[in-house]
Amino acid sequence: MSAILEVRDLATQFDTLDGVVRAVDGVSFDLARGETLGIVGESGCGKSVTALSILRLIPPETGRICGGSIRFAGEELTTLPEEAMKRLRGHRISMIFQEPMTSLNPVLTVGTQIAENVVRHTGASKKAARERACEMLDLVRIADPRRRLDEYPHQLSGGMRQRVMIAMALSCDPQVLIADEPTTALDVTIQAQILDLMVDLKEKTGTAIVLITHDLGVIAETAQRVVVMYAGRKVEEAPVEALFDDPQHPYTRGLMRAIPRLDVDVEEGGRRPRLQEIPGLVPRLTQPIVGCAFAPRCELATGRCRATAPPVVDIGGGHTVACWETVR
Amino acid sequence: MSVLEVDGLVKHFPIHGGLLQRRVGEVKAVDGVSFAIARGETLGLVGESGCGKSTVGKTILKLIEPTAGRIVLGGEDITALKPGAMWQHRRRIQTIFQDPYSSMNPRLAAGTIVGEPLENFGIARGRERDERVAALFQRVGLRADAMRKFAHEFSGGQRQRLGIAKALSVGPDVIVADEPVSALDVSVQAQVLNLLIDLQEERGLAYLFISHDLAVMRHISHRIAVMYLGRIVELAPKRALFARPLHPYTEALLAAATAPDPRRARRKKAIVQGDVPSPAKPPPGCHFHTRCPYAVADCKVTSPPLREVAPGHHVACHLR
């Protein structure tokens, strides 16, 4: 199956008072048509900047894509003129973010905002666009969609707003949807509704999804393939079952052992067991990182790890890992 | 014996409206909550936004005045104490917040932040204070040179360690921890949870641990209380709650939680639909009946009391 999105050696940097931050430092992955790819990592690992780079939404005053390529349906995005990029965004590639309230216009009704996007990208009449908006609200299972069209964002709950964002994002049948922490701000029961909805909609529409999250549970729930990022680099990529069954990178393994488990009884003889900690902190990204970025926190690290960054190696079955020690 | 007992706690916030800003109603943020916590025990208080769990914490700390009910700390009724009289009791009950940064003076060095309560309560001053602060820093895993740094120079996890050191400095019996690890990355979250458990076992601390995260709850709590719209709907030993949730809301919460296991994960997760109703206008009868898949006629009329249905296992549901 051909990839709809191909990211190669992407590098994105920001200028800060402390120096140049290498937020994304040579990341490559493919997104196949109709698949859900999860990108997981902790704060500052570069997962959101990767998403913003694909959409070319890096603020030009402070940051830039300084290397690599992003090909969408064969077309190179890093050099595409801004006008062409505007025609793409919200149409063939769209996005949803963590806090829908910051992406919705508070003084326009929900219907107007969805219809506006449809009119802009498809040239539909206002009437047809409003019908489309109504259809989309129904698709995201908002009850009584015709009445909701005339409501303002503040009249909706957090879960409803995220449904509206999804409706808007899907209104022009995009080929790729980028979802950055779409359920992080939501309560558990509402998160469950939105995850169910996203899984159903993907089956219905065939839109490929890049799902960015810090939550391994959400990844396990929705993704088919997973990219694990650390300090701006990809450390591991695998089909979701392989990643959870047989994580290879010491960082991935560390993450899995560090999370408290809801689904298994962990008590040993009535005592609460210790969680496995990953010692230390993530490195500062203002200094160039020599060697493997995880080496200072890694129990397997050797001299070679500290000197030379490990290449991404294919260990079969679509499972790749960047580690000198687990792959020999 | 319990170090903290809460009996029939109620906190209503007035809603003002209209031209004259008259009182037009009230938000029943906490609506009759009772529990007790023993020395060395963690009671988890779990629920979704707006369920009143943080208000319970703040009321117990007397940061806000309860509308009704009783709060008994170490055998002494502190419910009606005025701020001046309450002050003496603050040594015994301390708090850890989600964002410790907001509770720290940005112009004070970390050592001063932790040492200040020692002086204020007349526990130690001068050299002795400094030694105690240094010991606290070491105990929570901060380096001694961190005492001279300012709060903004710390990472999120280090700030939380600082918050813990500050809370511990006066030797409390009870710590109210409101979402203490929610803002932290998982690798750091594990460090802080381990520290909290170690400190509890060392010092016999009682924790009221407030969180929305069921996995964290399962890890740290001994007993768990589930709140929905101002009321406790289920209160049980941890193992019983996860093995056999009795309230339909608890069941929905457990089903909704994600598990880091793709084979278990692929299933319908939402067994309740719709949103939590506004706490300003909670539904009559059982607050949960509007979303409950099992609700019967009586649920819409009568509010079910919290009853003990198995040893230590309490549930507020007509159907159990």
The confidence score (pLDDT) of residue B58 equals 95
Q: For chain B, give the mean pLDDT.
A: 92
Per-residue pLDDT tens digits for B75-90: 999 999 998 899 989 9
CA nearest B123: which of B97, B92, B82? Answer: B92
Closest CA to A276 of A293, A252, A294, A256: A256
**From edge to edge, which strands make up the β-sheet containing A176-180?**
A93-96, A176-180, A208-213, A36-40, A225-230, A233-239, A320-321, A313-314
CB-CB: which of A43, A157, A192 is closest to B185?
Answer: A43
CA distances from B221 to A94, A267, B94, B105, B218 (A): 42, 11, 18, 31, 6
A188 to B190: CB separation less than 8 angstroms, yes or no:
no
Pick from A217, A240, A281: CB nearest B258: A217
Chain B residues with CB-CB distance to A40 below 8 A: none
- Chain A residue numbers touching B276 (CB-CB < 8 A): 187, 189
Chain B residues contacting A via beta carbons under 8 Å: 48-49, 155, 157, 185-191, 193-194, 197, 212, 214-216, 218-220, 239, 242, 252-266, 268-270, 272-273, 275-276
A254 touching B (Cβ < 8 Å)? yes
Q: What is the pLDDT of residues B254-294, one digit of tens each?
A: 999 888 888 876 567 777 888 888 888 899 999 999 999 99
At residue B224, what are phi and psi to the nearest 5 degrees? Answer: -130, 135
Q: Tell me whether residues B253 and A196 touch, CB distance under 8 A.
A: no
CB-based contact B261 A244, cutoff 8 Å: yes
pLDDT score for A267: 66
The label of the residue with tokens 């995005």 reads A77
A210: its two tokens: 């890049």
Q: Does A200 touch chain B (CB under 8 A)?
A: no
3-class SS of residue A96: strand
Residue A142's closest chain B neighbor by CA? B274
pLDDT at A269: 63
| Predicted pLDDT of residue A1 | 54
Measured distance CA(A93)–CA(A85) in Å, rounded? 10
C-alpha distances in angstroms, A215 versus A181, B5, B213, B252, B305? 9, 36, 12, 20, 36
* Non-local CB neighbours of B139 within 8 Å, separated by 6+ positions: B165, B168, B199
Tally C-beta pairs within 8 A across A and B.
131
Give chain B positions within 8 Å (CB) of A216.
186, 260
Whether A299 has its CB under 8 Å from any CB of chain B: the answer is no
Contact B239 A43 (CB under 8 A): no
Residues 6+ apart with CB under 8 A from A117: A90, A168, A171, A172
In a mutational test of the B interface, the residue from A263, A265, A274, A285 whose CB has the highest number of chain B CBs within 10 Å is A263
Rg (CA), chain B: 21
Interface of A with B in 202-221 (CB under 8 A): 214-221
Chain B CB contacts of A218 under 8 Å are: 258
| Nearest partner of B134 among B120, B145, B118, judged by Cα | B145
Distance CA B56, CA B106 (A): 28
Tokens for A219, please give them. Answer: 């990844």
**What is the rounded CA–CA span in Å between residue B170 and residue B110?**
16
Tokens of A155: 């009249």
B268-281 in b/e form (b: 16+ CB < 10 A) is ebbbbeebbbebee
The pair phi, psi for residue B170, each rounded to 5°, is -95, 5
- Give the span between the Cα atoms of A36 and A194, in whole angstroms: 15
User: Looking at residue A268, what is its pLDDT?
Assistant: 61
Residue A47, SS3 per DSSP? helix
In chain B, which residue's Cα lies nearest the Cα of A183? B258
Number of H helices, E strands in chain A: 12, 12
Average pLDDT of adjacent 10-residue blocks, chain A of 328 residues: 90 93 96 96 92 95 95 96 95 90 91 95 94 94 92 91 93 95 89 90 92 94 96 97 96 93 70 84 87 94 96 94 88
- pTM score: 0.90
CB A70 within 8 A of CB A76: yes
State the nearest Cα–Cα gap between B270 and chain A, in angstroms: 5
CA B290, CA B249: separation in Å to the nearest integer?
11
Q: In what order do the strands lie in the sheet with B93-96?
A: B93-96, B174-178, B206-211, B42-46, B223-228, B231-237, B313-315, B307-310
What's the CA gap between B208 and B178, in Å, rounded? Answer: 8
Q: Which residue has the tokens 């609506």?
A: B31
| Residue A314 token pair | 């294919």
Mean pLDDT over B214-238 rounds to 96
Phi, psi of B192 (to 5 degrees): -70, -40
Surface-to-core class of residue A224, CB atoms within 10 Å of its CB (0-12 exposed, 13-18 middle, 19+ buried): middle
Say whether pLDDT at B91 is over 60: yes
- Mark yes or no for CB contact B253/A188 under 8 Å: yes
pLDDT score for B209: 98
Q: Does A157 touch chain B (CB under 8 A)?
A: yes
Minimal CA separation from B239 to chain A, in Å: 8
B/e letters for A130-149, b = 16+ CB within 10 Å, e = fewer, are bbbbbebbebbebeebeebb
Contact residues, A window 32-51, toward B, CB-based 8 Å cutoff: 42-43
Give me the pLDDT at residue A270, please: 65
- Interval B194-220 mean pLDDT: 95
Å from B80 to nearest chain A CA? 34
Asked if the ipTM is above 0.90, the reply is no
